Amino acid sequence: MALQAGLTGCSGGLSGASDARERAVQGLLDRWAAAVRNRDESAFLSALDPAAGGYREEQRRVFANLAAVPLASWDYRLVRTGGFTPAPGDGRRVAAEAELRYRLDGYDSAPVTARSRLTLVERDGRWYVAADARRGGRQLWEQGAVTVVRGERSLVLGVGQDRERLRALADLADKAVPAVGAAWRAGSREWPGRVVVEMPASLARMAALLDSPVSNYRGIAAVTTGEAGGSGAAAPADRIIVNPEAYGVLGEFGRRIVLTHETAHVATRARTTKATPLWLSEGFADWAAYRGTGRTPRQAAPELSRAAAAGNLPGQLPDDAEFGFTGEAGRLARAYEEGWLACRMIADRWSEEKLVAFYHAVGSHARGDGAVEAALRSVLGVSRQEFTARWRAYVAEQFASG
């Protein structure tokens, strides 16, 4: 039950599942999964070691916390087992690695996958789950009872939040989806047009979900998890994780921008690959968020505006390292603003259709080497050097006095 979903899925397999022990253990995991799907607490607890009192109580709470979560599927797959060690009494223990795969009903076209190391115990010829060692971040339902709010195009899951706040979040997410659909255009065929949003109780709980230090997300209103690449039925399941503290200090407009930006990441995920630089993926998300708002560069890019006023215009497009959450806050903000203006320039000087086509072209490459350069020539008809020069002139023009 406490098998954890990280930021990306895992894959693997058994090299011969005919072993009797592995068949017995897989049977245990199948019964455990069926109990979750069937909402059968008695069957769920019967899969747990009767001697592991603390673990059983913890899992009883987690099972209850899942009650409102709409599950379309929930399965475990045994990946491998280790050697036996003695257990208290006459039992035997074995370490095992297993994979959880689950989907949220109506929202995930492909399952979230995660691995966990389990401790299994055999007593009197029957196997039980006795403990687990997590790999990756925690799941929301391990942090408390999950409140579920359904929007027209969104599913919001919250812990420690009142329903009214989650409803407001769903309303903004519902508005973000069509806004992103209008910006992404041709790419919308690959995107189901719905989002899953999670709001934990605190920044610390958000960091626990993401398996990262709290300092990485202080001041960050939301992030999107998921795998890059994939399409159609294989498109990865994304989650927008909201920091209730940073999000809470924003006004209505700021919240709208945050939700639309993160929704753009969900929409473009299938076309975002290792070849896609962060200035393009983050810049496009900001462009989609600000599109149609009437905000000027001076209003939307205050850090870059101040730098321009001091005569410090950028010389090159920001590299990926400049987007790190642990870096200097002003530099991070400028990196986002520079990427946004690069995408805004493409939409202004070429067209919005060309911007989407450029995003597709870059992401069609498996690796980053030469991907941007090739897409610039094939879609926009310019070299990287020419594009950079045009971008620098465009940035200077946006912040020119007068």
CATH of the domain at 308: 1.10.390
* 151 in the same domain as 246: yes
Selected residue with higher pLDDT from 59 and 133:
59
* 220 in the same domain as 152: yes
- Rounded to whole angstroms, the Cα distance separating 332 from 326 reads 9
1 has a pLDDT exceeding 50: no
At 330, the pLDDT band (50, 70, 90 cuts) reads confident
Does 285 fall in a domain?
yes
* 265 in the same domain as 324: no
Does 1 fall in a domain?
no
Q: Determine the pLDDT at residue 12.
A: 38
Residue 382 sits in which domain range?
A: 273-402
6 has a pLDDT exceeding 60: no
101 has a pLDDT exceeding 60: yes
* 280 in the same domain as 265: no
- Rounded to whole angstroms, the Cα distance separating 350 from 47 reads 61
Kindly report, residue by residue over 251-302, the tens digit of the pLDDT: 999 999 999 999 999 999 989 999 999 999 999 999 999 999 999 999 999 9
Selected residue with higher pLDDT from 252 and 192:
252
* 35 in the same domain as 124: yes
Number of domains in the chain: 3
Quote the mean pLDDT of the chain. 88
* 121 in the same domain as 27: yes
Kindly report, residue by residue over 126-168, the tens digit of the pLDDT: 999 999 876 667 889 999 999 999 999 999 999 999 999 999 9
125 has a pLDDT exceeding 70: yes
* 332 in the same domain as 253: no
Tokens coding 352: 């919005």
Does 6 fall in a domain?
no
Tokens coding 338: 């520079």
Q: Among 169-173, 300-304, 326-330, which stretch is predicted with the lowest mean pLDDT?
A: 326-330
Tokens coding 85: 């060690």
Does 183 fall in a domain?
yes
Q: Determine the pLDDT at residue 9.
A: 29
At 189, the pLDDT band (50, 70, 90 cuts) reads low
The H or E element that residue 65 is part of is helix 53-65
Asked whether the CA dihedral 240, 246, 247, 248 is positive or negative, the reply is positive
Does 12 fall in a domain?
no
**Mean local confidence (pLDDT), 81-104:** 77
pTM: 0.88
112 has a pLDDT exceeding 70: yes
Q: Which is nearest to 190 in space by CA: 233, 237, 238, 228? A: 233
* 321 in the same domain as 282: yes
Domain boundary among 247, 269, 291: 269
Percentage of the residues of the chain whose pLDDT score is greater than 70: 87
Kindly report, residue by residue over 339-395, the tens digit of the pLDDT: 999 999 999 999 999 999 999 999 999 888 899 999 999 999 999 999 999 999 999
- Rounded to whole angstroms, the Cα distance separating 357 from 373 reads 14
* 390 in the same domain as 369: yes
Q: Determine the pLDDT at residue 91.
A: 65
Q: What is the CATH number of the domain that holds 163?
A: 3.40.30
Treating both helix axes as pointing N-terminal to C-terminal, what angle do 278-290 and 352-363 enclose, rounded to 10 degrees? Answer: 150
Does 217 fall in a domain?
yes
**Mean local confidence (pLDDT), 220-240:** 69
Does 359 fall in a domain?
yes
Domain boundary among 136, 166, 201: 136
Q: Would strands 154-158 and 195-199 be described as parallel, antiparallel, or unpaired? A: parallel
Domain boundary among 215, 235, 269: 269
* 263 in the same domain as 143: yes
Does 13 fall in a domain?
no
- Rounded to whole angstroms, the Cα distance separating 256 from 254 reads 5
Q: Are 20 and 13 in contact (CB under 8 A)?
A: no
* 142 in the same domain as 132: no
- Rounded to whole angstroms, the Cα distance separating 103 from 195 reads 13
* 185 in the same domain as 126: no
Q: What is the CATH number of the domain that holds 122?
A: 3.10.450.50
